[in-house]
Structure 1
Amino acid sequence: MLAPDIGIDLGTASILVYIKGKGVVLKEPSVVAFDRDTNKIRAIGEEARLMLGRTPGNIVAVRPLRQGVISDYTVTEKMLRHFIQKAVGKRSFRKPRISVCVPSGVTEVEKKAVEDATYQAGAREVMIIEEPIAAAIGAGIDIVKPCGNMIVDIGGGTTDIAVISLGGTVVSTSIKIAGDDFDEAIVRYMRKKHNLLIGERTAENIKIKIGSCFPRAEADTLDVRGRNLVTGLPKTVTVSSEETEEALRESTLQIVESVHSVLEKTPPELAADVADRGIVLTGGGALLRGLEELIESKTGINTITADDPMTCVAIGTGKCVEFLFGGGAHEERK
């Protein structure tokens, strides 16, 4: 059996695997739990995510990717190998061709680390694709036409903003402010405002359930449990969506400012296209309530979120494999 072509969205928060003809077949958190004493991996993916902040001293749950780049090479390679085998199965005799996406601002060294880790994990050929291009293809935009499209891809570790025309990036920027920073902002706010210490998972839960970055007609509330910093005892606090808006204000405004600066650098003809066609949001961070309205209010340009923002990059990366490998654009590594 021939191995299928695979597209991997190697994200800070989660890894998605796309297989040609099947779509997105795997979506798991990019978390690995390993035993410090024996140096053996105990769990990968969702099972490891449940261990975050809840492990005994000898077991450590880590994220081997930080802000879109590899921070722990060996663990990333093992994690990739695990997910590739899980997605493909062990029936194929030939190694798969894999395309992997990286943030637009990564250095050559960081790009090489991703490529090497993918080869080590069992790839026959590797193609590295920039995230905004993959996100645009996954969102259903025809990027080959000579007209400007603006993509804002908000992931877990980075936000990639780019204006794309004729299949390439014209102006782009990548900032290290994204979903993880939203969680950290909520943790800081809860500590400062309520004297309550909460973990990353609780902060993420607040963000998903009631998180907002634009004033809403009706406020939502959520009971949050954590440790009271004054008494040291467990405590429950009711948090409103208005408070999350205050907590997330700084991070979301930095994203808006970056959108603004990319628009300033965009050639006038393409800027006119963007004003006409609007801004498209992709990535898990795009699901934050009020983000469309916030960008629209600051730029005056119609902003929409892609149909399934979480899977756009994975689908786009997978479709890139078909374009690039299909046209023989990549030589096989000897």
Structure 2
Amino acid sequence: MGLFRAEFGIDLGTVNILIYERGKGIVVQEPSLVTLLPNAERVILLDYGEVARQSYGRTPDTLEVARPVRDGVIADYEVTQKMLHYFVNQVKGPWRFLPPRIVIGVPYGVTSVERRAVREAAKEAGAGDVYLMREPLAAALGAGLPVDTATGNLVLDIGGGTAEAAVISMNGIVAASSVRVGGIKLDEAVMAFIRRKYNLAIGEPTAEDIKVRIGSAMPLDHELSMQVQGRDQVTGLPRMIEVSSGEITEALQEPLLNIAACVRNVLERTPPELASDIIDRGMAMTGGTSLLRNLGEFMSREVGVPAYLADAPMACVALGCGRAFDRLDDFMRTEFAQG
């Protein structure tokens, strides 16, 4: 089948798009960003992915760098369709005669309208068969959890726009919850903290850089620090400050506690038989935001379940969507039967 038709697993995230090709692995990992002409009569996209990211916050008023996916769902249908078409065409190969089959991740709890928008965007991007897989299940499958067994598997997938916790058993979701808190909300918390404490305005890319370089969910034994440049909100002039990891830990507490509450909500609705499995097996953390320092220790303290970082956490949803092709019959009866 692969010679004539490509098979892709796609994580269409708020911050990144990842494409897994069956038989090859991850073939696309790019920011979910596009550069466009905002006032054109029709949508004209100029740059995609990493090239667009390099222009973020630096464009003239005649250009706009946009995220067509927000909080895990399509915010701009036409731009999303064009972005998908661009990345799928990059990797499907001109020698394939049939349109690719795609399994694409969708957040838990999306509406039927949002599901239809994802399916139609993939179809218009050139896909043949399109299957939708809820991201917590895809993340668990991509993390290597035994989702097909009658045991309880707890996964926490924290992406750019949402955090989703779910208990998985027998190829299905037993209990799940989601909150619209992810990497972007953490960046916004850093921006708000620095604005409030130092009267300094910084952009989202700077806030993300701070989070990655010195951010931690728990206080560090040896504090880190870095210099940050922004715009003084009083004078309007550039100004440099130094921020510490302890300050960033303080800034991140509120959104992190919201994520922990999401996990507790799921645990409270988990059948006792599966809860005992979870205590023994722990909670797998996936998604790019799960890479935050000491997040596992923080979650273990807040929810009372050992937490650990899955292998290749950023790629788990795309990997899981791709691996679903190996057991299509199983998921046809459960996950894909939802339409």
**Does residue 250 in structure 1 map to residue 251 in structure 2?**
no
SS in 1 for 2:11: strand
Aligned residue in 1 for 2:237: 233
Aligned residue in 2 for 1:118: 122
1:233 and 1:184, CA in 2 relative to 1: closer, same or farther beyond 3 A?
same
Any gaps of 5 or more consecutive residues in structure 1?
A: none
Aligned residue in 1 for 2:298: 294
Partners in 1 of 2:17 and 2:45 — Cα distance?
18
Match of 2:93 among 89, 93, 99: 89
* Alpha-carbon distance, 1:149 to partner: 0.6
Partners in 2 of 1:76 and 1:240 — Cα distance?
38
1:121 and 1:325, CA in 2 relative to 1: closer, same or farther beyond 3 A?
farther
How many residues are treated as equivalent by the alignment? Answer: 332
Q: CA RMSD in A?
A: 1.6
Aligned residue in 2 for 1:207: 211
Any gaps of 5 or more consecutive residues in structure 2?
A: none
Instruction: Please tell me the residue identity of whatever aligns with 2:177.
Output: T
* Alpha-carbon distance, 1:3 to partner: 2.1
Aligned residue in 1 for 2:8: 6
Aligned residue in 2 for 1:28: 30
Length-normalised TM-score, structure 1: 0.96
Aligned residue in 2 for 1:309: 313
**Does residue 321 in structure 1 map to residue 325 in structure 2?**
yes
SS in 2 for 1:230: coil
Partners in 1 of 2:249 and 2:130 — Cα distance?
41
* Alpha-carbon distance, 1:178 to partner: 0.7
Length-normalised TM-score, structure 2: 0.95
**1:257-283: per-residue Cα shift (whole Å, max 9, x none)?**
111111111111111111111011000
1:116 and 1:234, CA in 2 relative to 1: closer, same or farther beyond 3 A?
same
**1:89-109: per-residue Cα shift (whole Å, max 9, x none)?**
333221000010011121111
Instruction: Please tell me the residue identity of whatever aligns with 2:188.
Output: E
Partners in 2 of 1:89 and 1:207 — Cα distance?
38
Partners in 2 of 1:90 and 1:241 — Cα distance?
49
Moved over 3 A (4+): 325-331
* Alpha-carbon distance, 1:328 to partner: 7.5
**1:225-259: per-residue Cα shift (whole Å, max 9, x none)?**
11111211111111111011111010000111111
* Alpha-carbon distance, 1:37 to partner: 4.4
1:98 touches 1:321 (CA, 8 Å); kept in 2? no
Instruction: Percent identity, please.
Output: 46
**1:56-82: per-residue Cα shift (whole Å, max 9, x none)?**
111111000000000000000000000
Partners in 1 of 2:330 and 2:106 — Cα distance?
21
